[in-house]
Structure 1
Amino acid sequence: MRAWPLITLAALLFAGAVIRDAVDDWVAATELPVLLAETSVEMRDRGGDLLRVYTLRDGRWRLGARAGQVDPDYLDMLVAYEDKRFHHHGGVDLWAMTRAVGQALWNGKVVSGGSTLTMQVARLLEDSGTGKVAGKLRQMRLAMALERRLSKDEILALYLTHAPYGGNLEGVRAATFAWFGKEPKRLTPAQAALLVALPQSPEMRRPDRNWKAARAARNRVLARMYDGGVIGQEAYDTAVKEPVPRARRAFPALAPHLTDRVRASEPLALRHDLTLDAGVQRALEDLAGESLRGLPDQLSIAMMVADHQSGEIIASIGSASYGTASARQGFVDMTQALRSPGSTLKPLIYAMAFDRGLAHPETIIDDRPVAFGAYQPQNFDGGFRGELRIAEALRLSLNIPVVLLMDEIGPARFMAGLRRAGVRAVVPGGKAGLAVALGGVGLRMQDLMQLYAGLASGGEAVELTWKSDSVSRARQRVVSRSAAWQVAHVLASLTPPGGKGEGKLAFKTGTSYGHRDAWAVGFDGQHVAAVWLGRADGTPVPGAFGGDLAAPILTEIFQRVKPELEDLPPPPPETLIVSNAMLPQPLQRFRGRNAVFEAPQDAPVLAFPPDGAFLPLEEDVPLVVKIREGQPPFTVLADGAPVVTGANRREIALPWREKGFVSLSVIDARGRSDSADIEVK
Structure 2
Amino acid sequence: MLRVRPFRARSLVVLALALWVGAIARDQGDLWVEATVLPGLGIETSVEVLARDGRLLRAYTVADGRWRMAAAMGAVDPGFTAMLVAYEDKRFYSHAGVDPWAMARAVAQAVRYGRVVSGGSTLTMQVARLLEASGTGQLAGKLRQARVALALERRLSKQQILQLYYQIAPYGGNLEGVRAASLAYFGKEPRRLTPAQSALLVALPQSPEGRRPDRMPQAARAAREKVLARAVGAGVIAPDQGRAALREAVPVARRDFPALAPHLADRVVAATPGAALIRTTIDASLQARLEGLAVEAVAAHGDRLQVAIVVADHRSGEMLANVGSSAYRADARLGFVDMTRALRSPGSTVKPLVYGLAFDEGLAHPETLIEDRPMDFGGYAPQNFDKVFRGMVRLREALQLSLNLPVVALTDAIGPAKLLAALRRAGVEAQVPGGKPGLAIALGGLGVTLEDMVTLYAAIARGGVARPLRVTGEAVEGARVLSAVAAWQVGDILSGMPPPAGAPANRLAYKTGTSYGHRDAWAIGFDGAHVIGIWMGRADGTPVPGAFGGDLAAPVLFQAFARLKRGLEPLPAPPAATLMVANGALPQPLRQFRSRAAAFAVADAPAVAFPPDGAEVELMADGLLLRVRGGVGPFTWLADGRPVVVAARTREAVVPSLGPGFVVLSVIDGIGRSARAKVRLR
TM-score, reference length from structure 2: 0.88
1:330 aligns with 2:335: yes
Which residue, out of 466, 469, 474, partners 1:471?
Answer: 474
- C-alpha distance in structure 2 between counterparts of 1:411 and 1:677, whole Å: 44
Which SS does the other structure have where 1:43 is aligned? strand
- CA shift, 1:439, in A, is 0.1
- C-alpha distance in structure 1 between counterparts of 2:262 and 2:505, whole Å: 33
Which SS does the other structure have where 1:388 is aligned? strand
Structure-2 residue corresponding to 1:154: 160
Which SS does the other structure have where 2:511 is aligned? strand
Structure-2 residue corresponding to 1:29: 35
Structure-2 residue corresponding to 1:6: none
Q: Is the 8 A contact 1:522 1:530 kept in 2?
A: yes
- CA shift, 1:106, in A, is 1.2
Question: Which amino acid is 1:333 matched to?
Answer: D
Question: Which amino acid is 1:587 matched to?
Answer: L
Q: Is the 8 A contact 1:625 1:653 kept in 2?
A: no
- C-alpha distance in structure 1 between counterparts of 2:90 and 2:506, whole Å: 66
Distance of aligned partners of 1:23 and 1:596 in 2 relative to their CA distance in 1, 3 Å threshold: closer
Which residue, out of 496, 500, 520, partners 2:499?
Answer: 496
Which SS does the other structure have where 2:268 is aligned? helix
1:248 aligns with 2:251: no
- C-alpha distance in structure 2 between counterparts of 1:607 and 1:400, whole Å: 21
Q: Is the 8 A contact 2:92 2:122 kept in 1?
A: yes
- C-alpha distance in structure 1 between counterparts of 2:320 and 2:532, whole Å: 10
- CA shift, 1:323, in A, is 2.4
Q: Which runs of 5+ in 2 are unaligned?
A: 1-21, 648-654
- CA shift, 1:281, in A, is 1.1
> 1:560-600: per-residue Cα shift (whole Å, max 9, x none)?
11222222112112111111111111111112246665658
Structure-2 residue corresponding to 1:566: 569
Question: Which amino acid is 1:294 matched to?
Answer: A
- C-alpha distance in structure 2 between counterparts of 1:18 and 1:125, whole Å: 23
Distance of aligned partners of 1:653 and 1:271 in 2 relative to their CA distance in 1, 3 Å threshold: closer
Which segment is superposed worse, 339-348 or 132-141? 132-141
- CA shift, 1:535, in A, is 1.4
User: What aligned pairs does 1:590-669 form with structure 2 within 5 A after superposition?
Assistant: 590-593=593-596, 597=600, 599=602, 617-618=619-620, 621=623, 644=640, 666=667
Q: Percent identity?
A: 59
Q: How many residues align?
A: 645
Structure-2 residue corresponding to 1:391: 396
- CA shift, 1:96, in A, is 1.1
- CA shift, 1:617, in A, is 3.1
Structure-2 residue corresponding to 1:460: 465
- CA shift, 1:150, in A, is 0.8
Distance of aligned partners of 1:621 and 1:42 in 2 relative to their CA distance in 1, 3 Å threshold: closer
- CA shift, 1:93, in A, is 0.8
Distance of aligned partners of 1:649 and 1:193 in 2 relative to their CA distance in 1, 3 Å threshold: closer
Question: Which amino acid is 1:554 matched to?
Answer: L
- C-alpha distance in structure 1 between counterparts of 2:664 and 2:58, whole Å: 68
- CA shift, 1:214, in A, is 0.7
Q: Is the 8 A contact 1:494 1:502 kept in 2?
A: no
Which residue, out of 34, 39, 45, partners 1:39?
Answer: 45
User: What aligned pairs does 1:358-377 form with structure 2 within 5 A after superposition?
Assistant: 358-377=363-382
Which residue, out of 352, 361, 364, partners 1:347?
Answer: 352
Question: Which amino acid is 2:556 matched to?
Answer: I
User: What aligned pairs does 1:41-190 form with structure 2 within 5 A after superposition?
Assistant: 41-190=47-196
TM-score, reference length from structure 1: 0.88
Structure-1 residue corresponding to 2:650: none
Question: Which amino acid is 2:421 matched to?
Answer: A
- C-alpha distance in structure 2 between counterparts of 1:19 and 1:155, whole Å: 17
Which SS does the other structure have where 1:292 is aligned? helix
- CA shift, 1:442, in A, is 0.4
- CA shift, 1:400, in A, is 0.6
- CA shift, 1:56, in A, is 1.7
1:208 aligns with 2:210: no
1:449 aligns with 2:454: yes
- C-alpha distance in structure 1 between counterparts of 2:559 and 2:498, whole Å: 14
Which SS does the other structure have where 2:30 is aligned? helix
Which residue, out of 437, 445, 449, partners 2:442?
Answer: 437
Question: Which amino acid is 1:148 matched to?
Answer: R
Structure-2 residue corresponding to 1:10: none
Distance of aligned partners of 1:284 and 1:159 in 2 relative to their CA distance in 1, 3 Å threshold: same
Distance of aligned partners of 1:591 and 1:663 in 2 relative to their CA distance in 1, 3 Å threshold: farther
Q: Is the 8 A contact 2:466 2:477 kept in 1?
A: no
> 1:302-338: per-residue Cα shift (whole Å, max 9, x none)?
11111111111111111123223x2211121111111
1:582 aligns with 2:582: no
Which SS does the other structure have where 1:586 is aligned? helix
- CA shift, 1:466, in A, is 1.1
Question: Which amino acid is 2:422 matched to?
Answer: G
Structure-2 residue corresponding to 1:414: 419
- CA shift, 1:457, in A, is 0.7
- C-alpha distance in structure 2 between counterparts of 1:171 and 1:298, whole Å: 40
- C-alpha distance in structure 1 between counterparts of 2:138 and 2:676, whole Å: 105
Which SS does the other structure have where 1:514 is aligned? helix
Question: Which amino acid is 2:445 matched to?
Answer: G
Q: Is the 8 A contact 2:25 2:96 kept in 1?
A: no
- CA shift, 1:653, in A, is 9.6
Structure-1 residue corresponding to 2:319: 313
> 1:277-315: per-residue Cα shift (whole Å, max 9, x none)?
111111111111111112132222111111111111111
Distance of aligned partners of 1:185 and 1:650 in 2 relative to their CA distance in 1, 3 Å threshold: closer
Question: Which amino acid is 1:532 matched to?
Answer: W
Structure-2 residue corresponding to 1:5: none
- C-alpha distance in structure 1 between counterparts of 2:270 and 2:643, whole Å: 77
Displaced runs of 4+ in structure 1, greater than 6 A?
16-23, 603-611, 622-630, 645-656, 662-665, 675-678
> 1:491-550: per-residue Cα shift (whole Å, max 9, x none)?
111122245453331111100011111111111111111111111121111111111111
- C-alpha distance in structure 2 between counterparts of 1:298 and 1:677, whole Å: 56
Structure-2 residue corresponding to 1:12: none
- CA shift, 1:410, in A, is 0.6
- C-alpha distance in structure 1 between counterparts of 2:115 and 2:58, whole Å: 45
Q: Is the 8 A contact 1:411 1:436 kept in 2?
A: yes
> 1:459-482: per-residue Cα shift (whole Å, max 9, x none)?
110200111xx2222331110111
> 1:46-72: per-residue Cα shift (whole Å, max 9, x none)?
110000111122221100112111111
Q: Is the 8 A contact 1:624 1:653 kept in 2?
A: no
- C-alpha distance in structure 1 between counterparts of 2:423 and 2:611, whole Å: 35
Structure-1 residue corresponding to 2:545: 542
Q: Is the 8 A contact 1:531 1:554 kept in 2?
A: yes
Q: Is the 8 A contact 2:346 2:513 kept in 1?
A: yes
Structure-1 residue corresponding to 2:231: 225
